[in-house]
Structure formats: C-alpha cells, structure tokens
Amino acid sequence: MLDYLRLEVRRTLRDVGFVIGGIAMPVMMYLLFTNIGANDGAWKTASMVGMAAYGAVGSALNTGGGVAEDRAIGWLRQLRVTPMTPRQVVAGRALTGSVTVLPAIVAVLTAGALVNGVRLAVWQWAALALLLWLGSLPFTLLGLGNGYRLTAQTTGVVNMVCNLGLAVLGGLWFPTALFPGWLRSVSAYTPTHRFAQLGTSVADGHAPAVGAVLVLAAWSGAFGSYAVLAYRRAGRNV
C-alpha cells in the first residue's frame, strides 16, 4: 500500500495543471486580494486562512480527477486483481489527497509570512497548518465520490463547480459579513465556512469552535457515504 501511495503522490505532483491551479493560483489570488486598497493587517491574516483553505479544497477535490482517469484507462480493473482490498485502494487514494493538500497550504501560509508580513506565534502556525490539513478530509471524500461516479471529463467540471461554489458560499474569498443575512445563515452550514473557521480561530488565538468541528464531521460522514456508494457502483462497471 505504501508503494501505491508513493506512486499516486508522484503522479499528482507531476501534474502541471495541479501545480498551477492548486498551488500557484491560491497564492496569486491571496496576494492580489490583500494588496489592493488599504493595508489592513487583519484582512491579510483572514484572507491568508481563507486562501489556504481554498487551495486545500481544490487540491483535495483534484484527487477525484485521478480516480476518473484511472477508471477510463482500466487502472481500477488492474487494482482489483492485486492483493489490495477495495478498502486499501480507497484508503490509498484518500491518503494521496491528504498529502497533496499540504503544498497548497504551506505555499499560502509562506506568502502570508514572507510577503504580507503576517505574524503569528510558532504554535499558531503549526496548529493552523495541521487543522487545515486534517479538515480537508471531507473534500477529499467528495472528490473521490465524484471520480468513482462520473466520467473523467465530467468529474473535472463538477469538481471545478464544487470548488468555486463552495469557496464563494463559504466565505473563502470574501468575508461573510458582506453577505446578506439569509446568505450568511446558509453559509454557516457549509463545509468550507466551517473549514476556514478552524484556521481563523487559531489565528485569533483560541481553540476551534465545537460547532465547526461538528458540522465538518457531519459533512465528512455524508461525503464518505457518497464515496463508498460511488466506489461500489464503479466496481460493477469495470
């Protein structure tokens, strides 16, 4: 399983589209959004968390694109004749997603510290990176579900729509304080809003809210069930 994990990580990190869209784009958007207009230190910190979360979500969803491509070329069929169990295959893909979100998170946090002068305690930087890494699991599961359920081309489109829609609705690009009241209420229950809330809590110097953890856990269960059902369906078609 470790060999399979190393193979999938190398394949992902060699993907030019992933490097540009999953790592470079969040960094460029962060620097653009925070260096236009007033020099607001609080906004630079909040936007850093939001864009790190956005990059992590995009990278996690990208795992599904690889799954869909594997289905198209028959790689899943080959995996099914190996000693690896279906659970190990899915776990390997999930671990791949969890590893490949790290470059996006680290890149944005580094830009915040070195370019925008964001200053946090050492424990805050470490906790921020760790929570964003762990909190990306629901989005990896969503990407896997899409990859097992849809064609390669459709998976790319659906994942892009999910990424952009959840990013905007969850307040990763702009503060939810700018939203109308009804939209703020909806945003509070989105996985992306609660995901970013893990990071903003640490950046503000306190532990994540219990509500954020519970909402993310619920979404993890929902997306995990979707991924399992999609994998079973894919098993009948390969």
For 26-49, what is each residue's pLDDT tens digit?
Answer: 999 999 989 886 667 889 999 999
In this prediction, residue 89 carries a pLDDT of: 67
For residue 143, the number of C-alpha atoms closer than 13 Å in the C-beta half-sphere is: 30
pLDDT band at 69 (very low <50, low <70, confident <90, very high): confident
Mean pLDDT of 127-139: 94
In this prediction, residue 237 carries a pLDDT of: 58
Specify the range with the lowest mean pLDDT, choosing from 100-104, 124-128, 134-138. 100-104
For 173-220, what is each residue's pLDDT tens digit?
Answer: 988 888 998 999 999 999 999 999 999 999 999 889 999 999 999 999
In this prediction, residue 22 carries a pLDDT of: 74
Output the CA–CA distances (angstroms, integers) from residue 200 to 43, 44, 204, 207, in the order listed.
Answer: 11, 12, 6, 10
DSSP string for the chain: -HHHHHHHHHHHHT-HHHIIIIIIHHHHHHHHHHSSSS--HHHHHHHHHHHHHHHHHHHHHHHHHHHHHHHHHTHHHHHHTSS--HHHHHHHHHHHHHHHTHHHHHHHHHHHHHTS-----HHHHHHHHHHHHHHTHHHHHHHHHHHHHS-HHHHHHHHHHHHHHHHHHTTSSS-GGGS-HHHHHHHTTSHHHHHHHHHHHHHTTSPPPHHHHHHHHHHHHHHHHHHHHHHHHHHTT-
**CB neighbours of residue 222 within 10 Å:** 15
What pTM does this model have? 0.87
Nearest-CA neighbor of 161 among 72, 234, 58, 231? 58
Q: Quick one: what percent of the chain has pLDDT higher than 90?
A: 49
63-72, 91-100, 166-175 — most confident range? 166-175
